[in-house]
Amino acid sequence: MSSSEQKQDKPGLLRVALSIIAALFGVQTERNRQRDFGSGSPATYITIGIIFIVLFVLSLILIVNWVLP
């Protein structure tokens, strides 16, 4: 393993967020999926994924309540 690969063992918050958004929309590439499963903690991906889903559902509720007063 090269030194650049060792520095990328733990993904940053932005990389995790972008990866989760891509996965939620179903456009995650195989290379990125392998990278995600090979590095980082599953708990981080699960926690941020749940947060994104809750925010998505809340935003849908707010939009529906705004459109249908």
Confidence label for 6 from pLDDT (cuts 50, 70 and 90): very low
CA-based end-to-end distance of the chain: 58
Question: For 11-41, what is each residue's pLDDT tens digit?
Answer: 888 888 888 888 888 888 888 888 888 887 8
Q: Which of 49, 51, 55, 59 is nearest to 24 (CA)?
A: 49
How many Cα neighbours within 13 Å face the side chain of 20?
A: 21
Rounded CA gap, 58 and 1, in Å? 43
Q: What is the pTM of this model?
A: 0.71
Residue ranges per domain, the chain? 3-67
Taking phi over 0 as left and psi of -120 to 50 as alpha, with beta for the rest, 29 belongs to beta
